[in-house]
Amino acid sequence: PSATEAPAATEAPASADAVKTGLYVGASVSDSKSATAEENGQAKFDVTIVAVTVSDEGTIESCVIDSIPATVKFDASGAITSDISAAVPTKNELGEGYGMKAYAGSKYEWNEQVAALAAYAVGKSVEELKKGAVDETGHAADADLASTATIYLGGYVSAIEAAVNNAQHLGAVSGDKLVLASLNSVGSSKNPEGDKAGTAQLDADVTAMTMNGDVITSCYIDSIQAKVNFDTTGTVTTDLSAPILTKNALGESYGLKAYAGSKYEWNEQAAAFAAYVTGKTAQEVAGIAVNEKTAPADADLAATVTISIAGFQALIAKAAAQ
């Protein structure tokens, strides 16, 4: 999975106790498969998300790990058989509903195991984390960590490293509460129509946010659109090994400037919104005035942000409620 790139933003001078806020979003569809006469095909999405705060010296001060699992099934005629209007919760939100205890015989659920890794990372540099957390198989090397985390951890360690590498000064200081939230949907998935392929699509907006009480002290936003195409025989036509880039990583390739005539690209608009809400409460963010297209009505914000912010406002509300 490709690492989330830092949004285009100018770092402000940091105070003595300032920390950087980082976010990683990485997606894979490699477990997707075509339909057969005996079994439905599926687009299987696996998205890892990690938020960190890190000092200028490289010490991880806080860390949150989560994952977005989503599956869209289709039959041998290419017709989608999944309820694409259903909610798409993260593994942390699923908790014991994810089923590692019930179906895999694990002593600890997935969310408990990655929380143990996140706690292990706190107080360490990336190099210290990489040296001590996992062995050559990617499983826990540290005895205390291994007592809780029995799943493969290598990918999550790499994701933490990517989040640290992406981190920048956005206003957070040591001691602020770090939260990670996402809004996920497969509602844009479509059946094949004529010569046009069917598409299973996962849309996920993600934020790493820090708070001091009710006030947002830093905000980092990214989004990913992961797609798997299939034809009227239920055959997957997408290269499942191709990298899936986030909107921040795509930059101008996302195409708001080229195809929508925007002055600013999506990543620039998301970064501008994140900077605008820093210093506000979630209630104040929910109250940002919008026009009939749910784009900002505030002149200062509208100078850069011309896209709908309804999703961003909902994302901030979800993060602040944790």
pLDDT band, residue 5 (cuts 50/70/90): low
- Are the C-beta atoms of 72 and 236 separated by less than 8 Å? no
Residue 78, pLDDT > 50, answer yes
Amino acid identity for residue 146 in this structure: A
Alpha carbon distance 238, 206 (integer Å):
24
pLDDT in tens, 161-173: 999 999 999 999 9
Retrieve residue 154's tokens.
Answer: 């290598």
Q: What is the DSSP string of 159-177?
A: HHHHHHHH-B-SS-BTTPE
- Mode of pairing for the β-strands spanning 198-212 and 41-54: unpaired
CA angle centred on 315, ends 310 and 320, rounded to 5°: 130
pLDDT at 184 over 70: yes
96 secondary structure, DSSP code: G
In one letter, which amino acid is 311?
Answer: G
Give CA separation, 208 vs 15, 19, 23, 109, 166, in Å: 20, 13, 6, 23, 12
In this structure, are residues 188 and 200 in contact, taking their beta carbons and an 8 Å threshold?
Answer: no
Predicted confidence at residue 14, as pLDDT, reads 60
The count of other CB atoms within 10 Å of the CB of residue 251 is: 17
Task: State the Cα–Cα distance between residues 114 and 121, nearest whole angstrom.
Answer: 11
pLDDT of 2 over the 60 cut: no
Whole-angstrom distance, CA of residue 86 vs CA of residue 83: 6
Q: How confident is the model at residue 178 (pLDDT cuts 50, 70, 90)?
A: very high
Q: How many Å from the N-terminal Cα to the C-terminal Cα in the chain?
A: 27
Distances in whole angstroms, Cα of residue 131 to Cα of each of 99, 128, 137, 154, 165 = 30, 5, 13, 11, 17
Mean pLDDT of 115-126: 98
Integer Cα distance of 20 and 36 in angstroms: 49
Nearest to 169 by CA among 5, 15, 318, 51: 15
Residues in the chain: 322
- Phi and psi at 246, nearest 5°, equal -75, 170
Max alpha carbon distance in the chain (Å)?
A: 64
Q: Which residues contact 281 (CB under 8 A, 6 or more apart)?
A: 214, 215, 216, 320
The pLDDT value recorded for residue 220 is 98
pLDDT at 1: 45
Name the 3-class secondary structure at 230. strand
User: Is it the case that residue 285 has pLDDT exceeding 80?
Assistant: yes
Could you give the CA distance from residue 302 to residue 41 in angstroms, rounded to a whole number?
43
Phi, psi of 297 (to 5 degrees): -95, -20
For the four alpha carbons of 106, 107, 112 and 116, in that order, the dihedral sign comes to negative
